[in-house]
Amino acid sequence: MKVYVDADACPVKDTIISIAKNNQIPVFLVKSFAHYSNNQEPQGVETIYVDTGADSADYRIMKLAQKNDIIVTQDYGLASLGLAKGCIVLHHKGFAYSNENIDQLLQTRYESAMARKGGKRTKGPKAFTAEDEKKFSELFKKVIEQY
């Protein structure tokens, strides 16, 4: 099992790294070159840089991920692809994507995009909270314990 993180805007990277390190699970942070850093990652963590183009991180994650690997993303499209590949896909706000919820999430995303295209304003995501961090941490630990 490996963990792939869509890392450009992921607020739970430190949580992922800490929990994965305690369980000796390798973590791959996939980031665009726009987020390049000289910081040294802890042992067991590798940063993979990709072009800054749209979906570059998603394509790299899908190329690398295997069945039963964990993907952490807020991107519903990547989540859908990961589920189809047999991966466990988690959102940083503490819920797991599933075959039961992905169609509705994608539909909502589509409807919001069409509304924006038509000139309407849509609400953005709610702010990330300490409660979200706690929910993610508990879910991530639970998923790891099951495998």
Q: By C-alpha distance, which of 3, 11, 6, 9 is closest to 130?
A: 11
Q: Cβ atoms within 10 A of the Cβ of 67, count?
A: 8
Residue 113's pLDDT is 79
User: Could you give the CA distance from residue 65 to residue 88 in angstroms, rounded to a whole number?
Assistant: 10
Domain ranges in the chain are: 3-146
The answer to whether domain 3-146 has CATH 3.90.220 is no
pLDDT of 123 above 90: no
The 10s digit of each residue's pLDDT in 41-87 is 888 999 999 998 778 999 999 999 999 999 999 999 999 999 999 99
What pTM, to 2 d.p., does this model score? 0.89
Q: Please, which residues bridge with residue 72 across strands?
A: 5, 90
User: Which residue in the block uniquely carries the two structure tokens 């819920």?
Assistant: 95
Q: Cβ atoms within 10 A of the Cβ of 62, count?
A: 17
Band of residue 23 on the pLDDT scale cut at 50, 70, 90: very high
